[in-house]
Amino acid sequence: MGYSLDFRQRILAYKEKHGLTFEQTSEHFSIGIRTLFRWVNKIEPCTTRKKPATKVDTEILLNDLELFPDDYQWERALRLGVTQPAIHYALKRLKISFKKNTVSS
């Protein structure tokens, strides 16, 4: 978990107000020097990840969903050569969920 934006701003403001070096600020607040340098360059915390899917190809998964709509995730995982959690996260990334029938038979 990262540090909040207001905490980052207060740390850097404290450093400027008291004229501290990065090393002194690092020791005072028990934060790494590299972290302080990173905050000076970009103070906003990263909230999204801009990395493409690497294990499950989206088109292949969508095709598999059309061909086998009722299969379990572990069955898809066997067909696609990945693990069940990889299928779970891929479906979550695509915002696809299968709602269960709540009415008992």
pLDDT tens, residue by residue, 24-72: 999 999 999 999 999 999 988 877 777 777 888 899 999 999 999 889 9
Element (H, E) at 75: helix 73-80
Contact 90, 53 (CB under 8 A): yes
Show Cβ contacts of residue 15 under 8 Å, excluding neighbours closer than 6 positions.
22, 25, 36
Looking at every residue in the chain, the average pLDDT score rounds to 89
| pLDDT surpasses 70 at 99 | no
Q: What is the average pLDDT across 60-86?
A: 93
Task: Give the C-alpha distances (Å, rounded to integers) separating 28 from 2, 14, 21, 71.
Answer: 18, 11, 11, 56
pLDDT at 39: 94
Contact 19, 12 (CB under 8 A): no
